Amino acid sequence: MIATGLDQLLAETGSLEGRRYGVLAHSAAVSADLLPIHLALLAAGAETPRLLVGPEHGFYGVEQDMVAAADREDPLTGLPVVSLYGDTPESLRPDPELFAELDLLIIDLQDVGTRYYTYAATGVWAAEVALAAGCEVWVLDRPNPLGGLRIEGNLPRPGFDSFVGAFELPVRHGLTLGELVLLESRRRGWEAPPRVWMMKGWRRQMLWSDTGRPWMAPSPNLPTVESTLVYPGGCLIEATQLSEGRGTTRPFQLIGAPGIDPRALATELDRVDLAGIRFVPTYFRPQYQKHAGETCGGVHVQVIDPGEFRPYRAGVVLLAAARRLAPTAAAWRAEAYEFVADRPAIDLLVGDDALRLRLEAGEDPGDWVASWGADEEAFRAERREILLYPEGDEG
């Protein structure tokens, strides 16, 4: 079993002696013996943290997407918990006053290797404010569940940045959170980059199943490793009126809407040669969010070979097929998305309007998908400068 950055710190808790520190983490930040980070630190004899800080979904991951999490008292320790996801975009960055009584911020967030996932933005923005306030920052590294070799997708264009597109990354970037923070530190010219507590035993070719660690859901709708595998493509469905399976036990694996013919959709998808995946015709009934209480026809996205599967491409293909087959059911989301109301949600997720314009014109997005190669290579060249774990088998 690999050892995470937290496990490494727990073996050296003397480094926290005399430190006035806070912890930015969540429910998936657990030790090798599955203790939540703040309890694990206390059990290992470390000094008590001054406060806890939670990302979107809250410190214990109880809130659904785009639901504000309130500041509160930790029920297990009585420590104050500060939320970095409230009712306004300003709530996404900490107030510098938060660090007035701290000299260290420890960040331990389980990322899922996908540009849209907001924990990376929360981690980088919190680190930036903390460093500017004169507070040291440590990042406790964890595995990328999608592995560290594969890169997939386009780089976002200027003007399309948001909480779900905060950085110039392909959708599937192949970085650990520690590496991502170092990359942004380099780009932003931070004078003192955060210290990354590296993992022991992790290699870039590893998927989560290779790590020997149990999966702990980092947010309510990524309950299984399978959900993380399909998330880079399945998240695109959030930008439509289709259900992405929220309100079911298989979020991002079940895609559909009332009135869709499951067999017709599966047949349409099977016309495209997609490796490592099968689309199984099915029905499902979400218990909350889109189409709550209604029976939806659609497909179950079943990953057959995670190594060959290209989730972002699969999501684009699925979206295009659904719009051809059921344009009304697959219409674009009209509501604001992650505090942005003046751009369509699909453009925020894609980081470009290219996909939306092609689909609206009834065009095949294949040429746009083919264009990703240049962005992927450019990013691969840039990231080599900050990789903490080698790309070869010697990892």
Mean pLDDT value across residues 132-143: 97
Mean pLDDT value across residues 348-354: 98
pLDDT digits (tens, 9 = 90+) for 204-234: 999 999 999 999 999 999 999 999 999 999 9
Residue by residue, DSSP assigns 237-258 as GGGBSSB-STTSSSTTTEEEET
Mean pLDDT value across residues 92-115: 97
Q: Which residues contact 69 (CB under 8 A, 6 or more apart)?
A: 54, 56, 57, 58, 59, 63, 83, 85, 86
pLDDT digits (tens, 9 = 90+) for 386-395: 999 998 743 3
Q: Is 60 exceeded by the pLDDT of residue 143?
A: yes
* Low-confidence winner among 114-123, 364-373, 384-393 (lowest mean pLDDT): 384-393
Mean pLDDT value across residues 88-100: 96
Mean pLDDT of the chain: 96
Residue 302's SS3 state is strand
Instruction: Give me the pLDDT at residue 394, please.
Output: 36
Higher-confidence residue: 66 or 180? 180
Instruction: Give me the pLDDT at residue 2, please.
Output: 97
Instruction: Give me the pLDDT at residue 393, please.
Output: 47
pLDDT digits (tens, 9 = 90+) for 276-294: 999 999 999 999 999 999 9
Mean pLDDT value across residues 164-182: 98
Instruction: Give me the pLDDT at residue 104, please.
Output: 98
Mean pLDDT value across residues 320-348: 96
Instruction: Give me the pLDDT at residue 319, please.
Output: 97
Q: Is 90 exceeded by the pLDDT of residue 39?
A: yes
Q: What percent of the chain has pLDDT over 70?
A: 99
Mean pLDDT value across residues 35-42: 98
Q: Is 80 exceeded by the pLDDT of residue 89?
A: yes
Instruction: Give me the pLDDT at residue 137, please.
Output: 98
pLDDT digits (tens, 9 = 90+) for 242-255: 999 999 999 999 99
CA distances from 366 to 70, 77, 305, 359, 382 (A): 43, 53, 22, 11, 26
What tokens does 39 get? 């309890």
Q: Is 90 exceeded by the pLDDT of residue 331?
A: yes
Instruction: Give me the pLDDT at residue 345, please.
Output: 98
Instruction: Give me the pLDDT at residue 395, please.
Output: 33
- Could you tell me the domains of the chain? 5-216 (3.40.50.12170), 225-352 (3.90.1150.140)
Q: What percent of the chain has pLDDT over 90?
A: 97
Amino acid letter, residue 337: Y
User: Which spans in the chain are helix H?
Assistant: 5-10, 37-43, 119-132, 177-188, 225-234, 262-270, 311-325, 345-350, 354-360, 366-370, 372-383
